[in-house]
Structure formats: structure tokens, C-alpha cells
Amino acid sequence: MKVCVFGLWHLGSVTAACLASKGIETVGLDPDADTVAGLGAGTAPLFEPGLDRLLAGAIESGKLAFTGDASAAVSTADLVWVTFDTPVNDDDQADVSFVQDQIEGIFPYLKDGAIVLVSSQMPVGSVAELERRFLPQANGREVQFACSPENLRLGKAIDVFTNPGRIVIGARDDRVRRKLEPLLSNFCKEQIWISVESAEMTKHAINAWLATSVTFINEIASLCERTGANASEVETAMRSEPRIGRKAYIRPGSAFAGGTLARDVAFLNILADRDGLQLPLLGGILPSNRLHDQWSFNQIRRKVGNLQGQDISILGLSYKPDTSAIRRSSAITLIRNLLKEGAHVSAFDPQVKKLPADLDSVRLASSPATAASGACCLVIATEWPDFRDLDLDHVTRSMGRRLIVDQNGFLAANAAAIQGVELVSLGVSS
């Protein structure tokens, strides 16, 4: 089977590399020439542990190539796997039309019998809309459209793709299953075959559940700070409850970011508004999350007071560890708030070496200690493993005030060992 992976940012580059690593003839297609050129040279557009090495090996084997030529890539493909990262704005509204238009643009090149498998984050009903759009352009060709919800996690994407535990696929025809099952079995034997609309809704439901869990435990953490309870201890006790479980998504921390969870919650709220449904629970998730996104800023202002002219240091800029992605990162939101108040900001991140143009006043330091020098407050913003092992006595020694704001409760387990430092930790009264 020949596969064209269409859309080559994070999801697409991982999908293409993993398919080719199993010996599957794969071509990656993207309209952006710079993205194609970088991947052709074995460099992913976004940092992901192990991805550059996997890309290089697949290219060298001859099983993976990249192009911007839609006709060449699509016309011989048995499967076109759509993997665009759906754009989302600052109000959590996704630009679905961008992805739909990209797919419609390849309709003329699809061969008879091809399958279009959509993994891009799209609202339920999107595949049906694509089927409607294709019908007038079919010209006798039979093309099947299917859906397999994206399941990757930044920083662990290769492992999740190659060992997913289960794969959900929505299809209308058993012929799709007969063609795709052998391909997907390279990665997982447990395949859940359901209707297209159920597969689309499954993605919304999973992400809405995770988003609900995050906002719930962060609201509990806020109450812990005001009552003398410890959110980490509450979390441990909650996981011991069999009806909740050890793997529950209930660790207090930053507001969820990156756009993935918010996008699906927004999809569900849009569907509810369209049909006049009242969904108070789902409707409250995004406002609660945005409120929690101000936690670090509020703690700094509470402890420091007037921020005009104050030096604040931020450790961690990416929205989660093991990625260089900073869009909608809580650290970036915090920095913008600090700059508006007149603060001076320095920062360090192991992977982020460039910031948006509006943050050009931020000093990017070469080490945590350099970033902290002279600051009155140090914020641990991203849970990079390296930060857990920092010699905080050394890092904070040159600070004007040895104040640490730990927005993920990252240092809570070692709080007793942190001497001479004022620690403000999420979910703990201070």
C-alpha cells in the first residue's frame, strides 16, 4: 500500500516517519515549501524526542520522501492520511475551513478506490461534509472517506503512535476495514471500528473529559490553598478511590494549553449552541481554565506588589516538557502579563531559543542560574525534568529575593529540603 501523509506539522511528520519506519512506502505532502525542505533534510518542524533520527533513517531507507506536488503525491496513493494541525485562534475557535479546503484541493488527483483517512482535529460532521463536496467531482471514481482521531502527545508522540494501546477508526464500508486493518496492525492489534460520526465524537469526548479533569482538580487546588489542605495529598488520596483510579487525569498544575483540549471543548459548545442545548458543565470548562491561567501572575503580584521595574525570571517556556511549542503556553501568557505591568523578564528553556516579536525585550539566558540572577522572583513554569534536579541554593543565591513560584506543584515533594527559599506552590497555602 502506498500512503500519502497530507499535512506535515507535528502530527503529519510523526505519522509519516512512523509509517515509513515499518517499511510502508510513504510520501509526505504539504503546501509549505520550507516545511517540505526541512523534512527532506531530516529535520522536523517541531522538536520531538527521537523524531529527527527516525526521519533520517526512513529517508535513507528509501521508504520516505517529501514533496509539495499534490498531483505526484496523491495520484498513486492508495491511502491519503490527512494530518493537518487545525489552526485555532486565541478564543479557541478552530479554522476548520482551512483543512476542508486543503482536502478539497486534492480531490482532482484522488485515484479510483483511494481512501481518505482524516486524523486532523475536526468537528463531528466534517467527514460527511467532505463526502458531499467530493460527490459532484467524482467523475466515476469511488473514494471512501474515514476518520481516525489523532491520539498523539507532544514529547511522547513516537511511542504513542507505535504503541497506542488501541486505535479508533470510523468507516462506513467494510472495504475500508479490509484495506486499513493490515496497515494499522503494524502498530496495534486492538482496533475499534465504529461509525464515522461516532469516531469524530469520540475525539471530542476524550478531550472534553481530560479538560474537565484538569479544570476540576485545579479548582480543588485553589480551595486547598485557602483551607490549609495540600492538593498533592488530596490527589494521592483520590487516586486510591477505585471509582477514580491511579491513572486519573487529576494532577494539579498549569491551565491546559496548546489548543488541543480547548479546540474540542469549543466544538462541543458550538454544536450545543447550534441546536439550542444547555450544557452547563462543558460551558464552564474554558472560563475556568482561563481563570486558572492567571494563577502565577496573581501569586507574583500578591507577593511582590507593584511590578513596575521588578526583575522576574521564568524557567520553562514551552507549553509542556519535551517540545519546543510555545503557542498558547502558560509561560508566554504570564510573560505578556508581566511586561504589561512594567516588569523586566529573563527566561531559560532547554529547547526554546526564539520568542515572538512582541517579546523581544525578554532576555533569553544560557542557564537557569543566569536567568535568575538579580531577580526578585523565579517562576518554575514548565515541568522540564532538569528543573527538578536543580541546585536551588546555587540558582537562587544571586537573586535579590529568594522567592520561587511553582505553578505546577513541581517542587512540592522536595519543599522541606529547600532551605532559605520562600516557596509558593500550587495547591498549598502560603
- Any residues with CB less than 8 A from the CB of 272 and at least 6 apart, and which? 278, 279, 282, 283
CATH of domain 202-291: 1.10.1040.10
Q: CA angle 52-56-57, nearest 5°?
A: 120
Residues 95/86, Cβ–Cβ less than 8 Å: yes
Residue 28 has pLDDT above 90, yes or no: yes
Euclidean distance between CA atoms 162 and 184, whole angstroms: 10
C-alpha cell at 359: 517579546
pLDDT of residue 417: 60
Over residues 106-124, the pLDDT tens digits come to 999 999 999 999 999 999 9
Q: Where are the beta strands (DSSP E) in 171-211?
A: 191-194
Over residues 1-14, the pLDDT tens digits come to 999 999 999 999 99
C-alpha cell at 361: 525585550
Architecture of domain 3-194: 3-Layer(aba) Sandwich (3.40)
pTM of the model: 0.89
Residues 261/207, Cβ–Cβ less than 8 Å: yes
By mean pLDDT, which of 112-121, 130-139, 320-329 is the weakest?
A: 320-329
Grade residue 390 by pLDDT with cuts at 50, 70 and 90. Answer: confident
pLDDT of residue 388: 82
In the chain, where are the structural domains located?
A: 3-194, 202-291, 294-425
Euclidean distance between CA atoms 3 and 24, whole angstroms: 8
Residue 389 has pLDDT above 90, yes or no: no
The amino acid that residue 188 corresponds to is C
Q: For 290-304, what is the mean pLDDT?
A: 96
Residue range 294-425 forms a domain whose CATH class is alpha beta
Which residues are paired to 144 by β-bridges?
Answer: 115
- 202-291 has the same fold as 3-194: no
Does residue 377 sit in helix, strand or coil?
strand
C-alpha cell at 245: 483510579
Per cent of the chain over pLDDT 90 is 83
pLDDT of residue 79: 98
